[in-house]
Amino acid sequence: MDLVENAKSVLRSSLAVQAGETVLIVTDDSRPEIGRALYEGAQALGAEAMLMQMAPRSVSGEEPPAPVAAAMAVAQVIICPTDKSLTHTNARINAVKNGARLATMPGITQEMFQEGAITADYDQVEKLTGTLTEMLTTASTARICKDGHTLTLDLRGRKGIPSPGVYREKGQSGNLPSGEAYIAPMENGVNGSMVIDGSMVGVGKLEKPITVHIKDGVLQSVEGDDGKLSILLQKPENGTVGELGIGTNEKAILRGIILEDEKVYGTVHIAFGTNTSFGGVNKADCHMDGIILKPDLYLDDVQVIRQGEFVL
């Protein structure tokens, strides 16, 4: 399947694009081929397609230029194949508030656009993601255990968010490819230590684990990153734990690209930085996820994952 045919399939199945709708593709200088394929795919479906290309953002969560944000605010369907993530930006939040169906594709490659997580049975992904989202919403606490490390997270008053890869209704948004349930824990309610051994934004696929130590929600120290995560220690907001996520896509492959890595079935991830786009109150200079392979996960002391296998 060539890129344009795959683009048409994604636009139809995940975003339910209809003839006559305004479809905005936001890409950057690192992804012109994918951006162009989506543009041509939207045209082939009879949509009023628009393509905006910008310079890559310096970090995930950095806002796009004002003209891009303005276009996002009025488009009916938006898809964003970019280097850094636009998921946790005010531009995305405002577009969704205005009713856009929106999919972000940070770090997407041509290979990822044709195999792996994007080829999953999204009916199954949606079902498991929904179950876990409800469990996150009703839980008061979460506990991750791995290799002698334990991290506890206060989830009280926060709602789980589904990212099933299906955004067919007004105001729905998430990643593509997708498959995760996630939540913003209380910003001052995360304590303990954890090993991140899958991949880490800013580092890539990990050859050695990174160990993080967290107190009252804020990163205190990090080991094994070779200085690549220094932004997280520059100010408390950057090092605040902003997210707990659970991967639900059986086709996802650990590649060192967070867009797919955080969807790997049976993994857990935590992220530092901005979480205002999904129920939190922390606005930082970044949003940086780390993947934990084969964890034990408990919600309200009920085990949900045992060494990377769901025990629902």
Give mean pLDDT, residues 284-303: 96
What is the pLDDT at residue 121?
A: 86
Domains of the chain: 3-114 (3.40.1830.10), 119-310 (no CATH)
* CA-to-CA separations, 52 to 29, 71, 282, 298, in angstroms, rounded: 10, 9, 29, 43
Model's pTM, two decimal places? 0.83
Q: Write the Ramachandran bin of 66: left for phi over 0, alpha for psi from -120 to 50, otherwise beta.
A: alpha
Q: Which two tokens stand for residue 115?
A: 């195999």
At residue 269, the 3 state secondary structure works out as: strand
pLDDT, one tens digit per residue, over 169-182 is 999 998 899 999 99
Greater model confidence, 290 or 60: 290
Q: How confident is the model at residue 39 (pLDDT cuts 50, 70, 90)?
A: very high
CA separation for the pair 79, 81 (Å, rounded): 7
What is the pLDDT at residue 126?
A: 93
Which range of 52-61, 79-88, 239-248 scores highest in mean pLDDT? It is: 239-248
Examine the pLDDT at 1 and tell me if it is beyond 80: no
Question: What is the percent of the chain with per-residue pLDDT over 70, rounded to a whole number?
Answer: 100
DSSP 85-154: --TTSHHHHHHHHTT-EEEEEET--TTTTTSGGGGS-HHHHHHHHHHHHHHHHH-SEEEEEETTEEEEEE
Helices (H) and strands (E) in the chain, counts: 7, 20
What is the pLDDT at residue 5?
A: 93
